[in-house]
Structures are given as structure tokens and as C-alpha cells.
């Protein structure tokens, strides 16, 4: 259940949504994507209301923990998205390298490990051309090196002007990749701002996101 959650995100920004398990991070993302209904509220896109059936024109949401088209090969799933969104083969190959997908391209999605599956999902999300990309736990299941690679990839993506709205439960990762953060706890927005702004709201001179989070929740 969510109450009175509101926030804004600017073009080319990486906005992090952080909170403990059960805080409502995935629910927020799915409501924004129009995959879950909300009792009230609205989404403004470039200062104009965006109805739920037009959301997919502006944004794409990549869920966590899904196993899409499990009996198909990785190559087919990626090519399906590439062709569906009329992307060039170069766009796809620019993703398969950093995400190390060449080695699993012939494997079926069902046979992939958790990390490999996450990398395939990230490639699908990054293949979409939408100006706003919503990612649910993009680093979940990735090892340290892969996490760093994906962070670089996401930063590069945001530098092209694409806006990323990312839900992360690992606060260390969130601190590294996000420009601004929204703190969510028990379905309510607790705070919003840059790391420095959040530090000020929490009355902390120093300290990382973990200390801020504990102070504010």
C-alpha cells in the first residue's frame, strides 16, 4: 500500500528509489508503468498528464526476478526486442559486449544463472528507445565486477539524455550510481534529494547513505 508518494525526475538524471524490503519500491515502479492500478494520483510527463494507456510511449519498466520466454535462446530474445523497436544491430552489439552476453547467446533463458538472467534483462531494457527507463533492482544477482560494469553502462546511458529511475536495496550501490534519491519506508516517501541534501535533512555532518537512511526512518 502506498500513501501520498510524489517525486520528480529530470532529463538525463539517475533517480534512485531506496527503502527496506516491503517498503513499496516495486509497487511504485509498477504503478508508474501502468501495470498496477492506483486509487488516485497522476503522472506528468513534460508538464502534461500521461494516461496509463499512453505510459508505454514514454517509459519502459524492467521488472526484477522475471524469466521471460524461458524456452527461447538469449540471442532470439535480444533480436526480438532489437527488431520490435527497430534498433540497429550495432545498438545490440554495443550492449552484448559490456554485459558479456556473447558467451550465453545460444543458451536458453531457462538455463541461465541468476546473474546471466539479470544481464539479459538489462540488455532488453537498454534496447528499448523510451526516454525514461525504470529498472527494478538492476544489480541484484550481479557480482562485484559485473555491478561496476553495469553502473558504467547506466551512467553512459544517462549521459545520452536518457532518464533512469532505479530501485535499489543495496545502499552502497545506490550511493555510487544515483544523482538523486527518494527514500521510501512503509509505503510513504520519507525524503528526496541529493546525498548532500539528504544528509542535511538527517542532520548529519558526514556519513553515507546507510547512516542517513537509519536516521530518517
Binding site for another protein (CB under 8 A): 30, 33-37, 52-53, 56, 60-61, 63, 65-72, 76, 80, 83-86, 124
Query: Alpha-carbon distance 15 to 158, whole Å?
Result: 10
3 vs 206 by CB, closer to another protein: 3
- Taking the least distance from each CB to another protein, the nearer of 72 and 217 is 72
| Closer residue to another protein (CB): 69 or 152 | 69
Q: Minimum CB separation from another protein for residue 205, in Å?
A: 43
User: Does residue 154 contact residue 142 with C-beta atoms inside 8 Å?
Assistant: no
What distance in Å separates the CA atoms of residue 199 and residue 97, rounded to the nearest whole number? Answer: 37
Other Cβ atoms within 10 Å of 53 Cβ, number: 8
Q: Is the CB of 32 or the CB of 202 nearer to another protein? A: 32
- Taking the C-alpha atoms of residue 181 and residue 138, their distance in angstroms, rounded to an integer, is 15
CB of 189: closest distance to another protein in angstroms?
Answer: 22
Nearest-approach distance from CB 35 to another protein, in angstroms: 5
Measured from the CB atom, the residue of 81 and 149 that comes closer to another protein is: 81
Report the nearest approach of another protein to the CB of residue 17 (Å). Answer: 17
- Taking the least distance from each CB to another protein, the nearer of 125 and 183 is 125
14, containing H or E segment:
strand 14-18
**Residue 83 burial by Cβ neighbours in a 10 Å radius (0-12, 13-18, 19+):** exposed
Report the nearest approach of another protein to the CB of residue 101 (Å). 17
Contacts of 188 (CB under 8 A, 6+ apart): 2, 3, 4, 5
Min dist CB 81 to another protein, Å, is 9
Does the CA dihedral 117-172-130-40 come out positive or negative? positive
Cell matching residue 148: 561496476
Amino acid at each position: 500500500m502506498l500513501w501520498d508518494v510524489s517525486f520528480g525526475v529530470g532529463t538525463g538524471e539517475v533517480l534512485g528509489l531506496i527503502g527496506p524490503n516491503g517498503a513499496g519500491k516495486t509497487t511504485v515502479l509498477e504503478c508508474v508503468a501502468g501495470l498496477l492500478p492506483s486509487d488516485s494520483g497522476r503522472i506528468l510527463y513534460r508538464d502534461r498528464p500521461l494516461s496509463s494507456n499512453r505510459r508505454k510511449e514514454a517509459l519502459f519498466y524492467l521488472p526484477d526476478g522475471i524469466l521471460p520466454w524461458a524456452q527461447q535462446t538469449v540471442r532470439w530474445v535480444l533480436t526480438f526486442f532489437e527488431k520490435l523497436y527497430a534498433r540497429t544491430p550495432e545498438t545490440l552489439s554495443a550492449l552484448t559486449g559490456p554485459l558479456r552476453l556473447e558467451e550465453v547467446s545460444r543458451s536458453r533463458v531457462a538455463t541461465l544463472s541468476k546473474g546471466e538472467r539479470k544481464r539479459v534483462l538489462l540488455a532488453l531494457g537498454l534496447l528499448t528507445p523510451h526516454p525514461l527507463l525504470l529498472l527494478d533492482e538492476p544489480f541484484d544477482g550481479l557480482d562485484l565486477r559485473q555491478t561496476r560494469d553495469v553502473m558504467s553502462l547506466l551512467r553512459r546511458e544517462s549521459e545520452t539524455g536518457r532518464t533512469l529511475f532505479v530501485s535499489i536495496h543495496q545502499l552502497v550501490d545506490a550511493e555510487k550510481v544515483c544523482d538523486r534519491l527518494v527514500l521510501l519506508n512503509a509505503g510513504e516517501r520519507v525524503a528526496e534529494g541529493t546525498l548532500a541534501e539528504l544528509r542535511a535533512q538527517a542532520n548529519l555532518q558526514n556519513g553515507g547513505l546507510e547512516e542517513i537512511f537509519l536516521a530518517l526512518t
